[in-house]
Amino acid sequence: MSTLRFTPEHEWLRLEASGELTVGITDFAQQALGDVVFVQLPDLGSFNAGHEVAVVESVKAASTIAMPLTGEVVAVNSALLDDPARVNTSPLGEGWFFRMRIEDMSAFNDLLDPQAYDAFIAANS
């Protein structure tokens, strides 16, 4: 089973060994945004799925990041505050936004796996 899942809103979630989920935006999303110049990270705490928790601004546009699943934000990537370009240079690595905990792992498993996300991109591009 892959430890990586995707949302139709172009967010990725990676299951870590700790059981936490790391969340960021996909390479597709960062390319569409262009050069990222500002990131507003979420507060720690509980959020419902779909709740806007972060903002990313680029030279082209601003976009919100929604909480992909109901859960608790337990850490944020404060390095993005000083170097928001990490979102562009390493969207699936150093460009992560936050880490979260969820109670129902079936919700994670119900998200798009890498192959389904690739098919989603191909069908909607």
Q: Whose structure tokens read 């990537």?
A: 77
> Contact, 76 vs 44, CB < 8 A?
yes
* Residue-wise pLDDT tens digits, 25-79: 999 999 999 999 999 999 999 999 999 999 999 998 999 999 999 999 999 999 9
The span from the CA of 29 to the CA of 33, in Å, is 6
The SS3 of residue 107 is helix
Angle at 85 between CA 23 and CA 69, to 5 degrees: 15
Q: Tell me, what CATH number does 117's domain have?
A: 2.40.50.100
- Identify the domain containing residue 54 by its residue range: 4-102+111-124
Q: Tokens standing for 67?
A: 């909480």
pLDDT at 125: 79
